[in-house]
Amino acid sequence: GNSVTQMEGPVTLSEEAFLTINCTYTATGYPSLFWYVQYPGEGLQLLLKATKADDKGSNKGFEATYRKETTSFHLEKGSVQVSDSAVYFCALSSSSASKIIFGSGTRLSIRP
Amino acid sequence: DAGVIQSPRHEVTEMGQEVTLRCKPISGHDYLFWYRQTMMRGLELLIYFNNNVPIDDSGMPEDRFSAKMPNASFSTLKIQPSEPRDSAVYFCASRLPDRGRFGELFFGEGSRLTVL
């Protein structure tokens, strides 16, 4: 079946450091891929998405590229801020169903 | 525009009691999803509806759980009887129609359930 695996947290970085959160997936067909972010006490919200191979999603300085050959969708940001502290979820939507499957989430903490 | 509205935000109850969680999706959205979030299992899809009809309830943990969507603007998730292992944050999310696999989910703020 379809699944998403992302790196375990928590991840702690200093402000202005480079961020990578790894995500790999298993799916049949051609899924769409997403990164969602959850700030403390809130629901998830979409951060970025990519709908086909080699697409790059970007938002708020975050980027992720849909790599079909490595079945990956790693999240990156060149210079993190304290306000980026949150839980990040990688997710996929299969081509044969309407539901979205989430990874386990990675908690990110940024030190001033 | 109002987002997805969930109630109650917090619920503390005793084992064996009935719990009802409520959700009002964004107007015009025709998909509605119920998720459960715990530290151990992360974010699990319980059930989802399309045009008020349940499409996939394979994630509902057992017969104690039931969900209904009597109309396009209201859904409930009921647990009867509740058990301590049901303690979690329950999220409702909705999605625009005709967006297939590209659609963005809009989440409510969640209902935090504690069963003593």
* Contacting residues for B104 by C-beta, under 8 A, at least 6 apart: A34, A46, A49, B95, B96
Query: Is residue B103 less than 8 Å (CB to CB) from chain A?
Result: yes
Residue in A36, A32, A28 with CA at minimum distance from that of residue A6: A36
Contact A100 B100 (CB under 8 A): no
Contact B4 A46 (CB under 8 A): no
Copy the structure tokens of residue A100. 């979205």
Residues of chain B with pLDDT under 50: none
d(CA A7, CA B47): 26
Find chain A residues with C-beta within 8 A of B95's C-beta: 98
Residue with tokens 């005709």: B98
Q: What pLDDT was estimated at residue A41?
A: 86
Find chain A residues with C-beta within 8 A of B110's C-beta: 42-43
Residue in A34, A52, A54 with CA at minimum distance from that of residue A105: A34
Residue in B19, B23, B24 with CA at minimum distance from that of residue B87: B19
User: By CA distance, what is A39's nearest residue in B?
Assistant: B109
The closest CB to that of B101, out of A41, A95, A105, belongs to A95
Chain pair A-B, CB pairs under 8 angstroms: 61
Strand B31-38 with A100-102, pairing: unpaired
User: Biggest alpha carbon distance in chain A?
Assistant: 44
Contact B4 A104 (CB under 8 A): no
Residues of chain A with pLDDT under 50: none
CA distances from A82 to A12, A58, A111, B63 (A): 11, 19, 6, 43
Cβ distance B75 to B57 under 8 Å?
no
Find chain A residues with C-beta within 8 A of B100's C-beta: 98
Query: Is residue B96 less than 8 Å (CB to CB) from chain A?
Result: no
Copy the structure tokens of residue A45. 């919200």
